Structure 1
Amino acid sequence: MSSQTVPARGGQRSPDVDLLLHAGPFHAALRAAIEDSGLTLEGVRHRLAQRGIRVSLASLSYWQQGRSRPERADSLRAVRAIEHILGLPAHSLAALLGPPRPRGRWTRRNTPDQHYDGLLEPAAALAQTVRPVLGPSDHKLRVFSQEDRVRVGADRAIRVVRTSVVVRALEDDPDRFLAVYCAEPGSRAGDILPSAGENCRLGRVRRHPHAPVIAIELLFDRRLRAGETHLFDYQFTIDSAVPSVDYRRGFRYPGDSYVLGIRFAEESIPVRCFAFTQHEPHGGSNVDGELPVTPGRWVHRVARDLRPGVLGVRWEWE
């Protein structure tokens, strides 16, 4: 057993700790798990430092008192390390955090349109499309892992996007997930054809009347209890020949992991591909490096400890 991992005293967690890990709140679960382990806050801080993670005693104290909560990428990394140090199930504490409190330049301000401002375009059309199908499940789920597999056709247009998602319930009763897709300018919303895959079925579908934007409900076969996870997948087929030069995924909230894979048709292989990240609304994107295209015509990128913003892959045809 690693000396940096401290199981609960007696080798088993208290039932009270398990209950709090299941239902929260985060600060109470963290405090109970630390007390159950027999470690002091200084002991937790020391073990984090051994892993190269610097967190002050004041921050740890505030987290377990509920006076503040971890939201930044380095703080979320510390939470995952604490789970391992205390011998807790992976993601058991992180799942209780939920969406971050409004802060910074990506926050929702005065209108629903601004909730998407700078995230994906067209922002106003996206907000107008999403707003009618938002429901109570929207704030009760958190995405832990997501994988997009994109197919680019011989005409250089994105033709299929298949997505696999694992969500975890932050509260009782969520029973659906909202997915959106924005096609290339010059396309129509009617060109975007949604379909549900495993472990979900299609609910309401909302298309914007003038912009290539669609929002869909994916209904689960049951209501989730707080702490439960659900794996499902869905697909968008795009019946449009408008060429694409990138694929981007917008994240409103921090997340755990994301995988993006893109396969190009044999007749249309780009000369180069780049990963990019956009951290600020309306700001420029940062190039994260050139990506190789495999002999099977795939390019992919992997991201962890996601921040609100946009991740994607851009390619050049000439």
Structure 2
Amino acid sequence: MSYPPTQAQVRGGAGSRSPDVDLLLRAGPFHTALRAAIEQSGLTLEALQHRLAQRGIRVSRASLSYWQQGRSRPERADSLRAVRAIEHILGLPAHTLAALLGPPRPRGRWTRGGSVARRYDGLLEPAPALAQTIEPVLGPSDRKMRVFCQEDRVRVGPDRAIYSVRTRVVVRALDDDPDRFLAVYCAEPGSQARDIVPTAEENCRLGRVRRHPQAAVIAMELLFDRRLRAGETHLFDYEFAISSPIPSADYRRGFRYPGDTYVLGVRFAEEAVPVRCFALTQNGVRQDGVEAECDEVDGELPLTPGRWVHRVARDVNPGVLGVRWEWE
């Protein structure tokens, strides 16, 4: 199958590139080189997305934008296929952009066994407040369980703010004797922790609650009625309600250790329906001064007539999963 030539190819490909663009294509970094090559071609992101679609490659404009801003980078097989296609569309020699990506960053599963100390700083923002809130109430149970499956149901009100998050969790005991779970919520910057109301809904009861004095971060213990044995599972529900919320553009769930299944559903009020929704992934956790990997937009998500958007993830890696939406 043949495709119409791009503006870059019509103008003569590599010979028409400026010395500055050629230097970026040789030395990188990837996002700067990609942005320069796209600008030189004269294509808009929408036009580039369309040309990729002609080749059967679906990439959201948000992903293309994030790639050229350095907020994320292509790593999945489909994304790398898109990079190879972009090289052809922009009239670049094969592997010009792909070579700037370097080797893939490690993903893989972290160990599931053993009682490993768990750190929470660097998982979600605000990082220092998160660690300061959580670590004083950590107990031995925290090291003895992993999330087997988890479902978040987020409700966005008519003022575009998140009013509640209802969560159902099944945990599996790695060792004997865990008897509680620590649930955490970080509201939008500018919110107050005192406005976050925690509730133990089903099959658990409320234990200690700790709010950060300055940041909108809260942690609550959910107590089980018995101690679990290694290999046992426990099902329970809890909720965070926000009494004076601030408008949001996304919802994020942080995972410090691997999980099996995660389901996230967001329901929007009739008066506040976004124009687009995207799956959002951040792989890795910031530790010892090393930055976590940037957000990667995984693709556009459909919004149902009932104003629901959802995503499902299997074999969850440490990092952050979420949904981002755009109002305009």
TM-score bracket relative to the smaller structure: 0.5 to 0.7
Q: Counterpart in 2 of 1:294?
A: 304
Gaps of 5+ in 2: 1-105
Correspondence for 1:241:
245
Q: Which secondary structure does the structure 2 equivalent of 1:214 belong to?
A: strand
Give the CA deviation at 1:116. Answer: 3.1
**What is the one-letter code of the residue matched to 2:277?**
C
TM-score with structure 1 setting the length? 0.65
Q: CA deviation at 1:302?
A: 0.2
Other-structure match for 2:113: 98
Cα contact 1:196–1:234 (8 A) shared by 2:
yes
| Cα pair 2:203 2:224 within 8 Å, conserved | yes
1:232 & 1:75 partners in 2: Cα distance?
Answer: 25
**1:308 counterpart = 2:318:** yes
Question: How far apart, CA to CA, are the structure 1 residues paired with 2:207 and 2:122?
Answer: 28
CA separation in 2, counterparts of 1:174 and 1:304?
24
TM-score by length of 2: 0.63
* Paired amino acid for 2:322: G
2:220 to 212, 216, 222: 216
**Shift, 1:156, TM fit:** 0.5
Other-structure match for 2:148 = 144
1:258 equivalenced with 2:262 (yes/no): yes
Distance 1:294 1:256, change over 3 A: same
When the two structures are aligned, how many residues end up with a matched partner? 217
Contact 2:146–2:258 (Cα < 8 Å) also in 1: no
The separation in 1 between residues aligned to 2:245 and 2:233, in whole angstroms, is: 37
Task: Please report how far the alpha carbon of residue 276 of structure 1 lies from its aligned counterpart in structure 2 after TM superposition.
Answer: 1.1
Instruction: Report which of the two structures shows the higher radius of gyration computed on alpha carbons.
Output: 2
Kindly indicate whether the alpha-carbon contact (under 8 Å) linking 1:99 and 1:254 is maintained by their aligned counterparts in 2.
no
Any idea what SS the aligned residue of 1:124 has? helix
RMSD after superposition: 1.9
TM-aligned CA distance change 1:197 to 1:101, over 3 Å = closer
Residue type of the alignment partner of 2:306: G
User: Matches of 1:132 and 1:74 in 2, distance apart?
Assistant: 30
Q: Render the CA deviation track for 1:185-207: whole Å, top value 9, x for unaligned.
A: 01000010000011000000000
Distance 1:101 1:232 in 2: 24
- The answer to whether the 8 Å contact 2:133/2:210 transfers is yes
Q: Does 1:230 align with 2:245?
A: no
Identity %: 76
Measured in 2, the distance between the counterparts of 1:207 and 1:169 equals 27
Q: Partners in 2 of 1:99 and 1:164 — Cα distance?
A: 25
Against the structure 1 CA distance between its residues 160 and 195, is the aligned structure 2 distance closer, same or farther, given a 3 Å change threshold? same
CA contact (8 A) 1:154 1:266 kept: yes
Q: Deviations for 1:98-155, whole angstroms, at most 9, x for unmatched residues?
A: 36979xxxxx7xxxxxx33431001110111011110111101111100000000001
Q: CA contact under 8 A between 2:193 and 2:217: conserved in structure 1? A: yes
Which amino acid counterpart does residue 199 of structure 2 have in structure 1?
S
In structure 2, the CA distance between the partners of 1:137 and 1:117, relative to structure 1 (3 Å rule), is closer
The one-letter code sitting in structure 2 at the alignment partner of 1:139 is R
- CA drift of 1:209 comes to 0.4
Q: Partner of 2:68 in structure 1?
A: none
Mapped contact 2:115–2:144 kept (Cα < 8 A) = no
| Aligned residue identity for 2:146 | R
Counterpart residue number, 1:8: none
User: Counterparts of 1:164 and 1:195 in 2: how far apart (Å)?
Assistant: 12
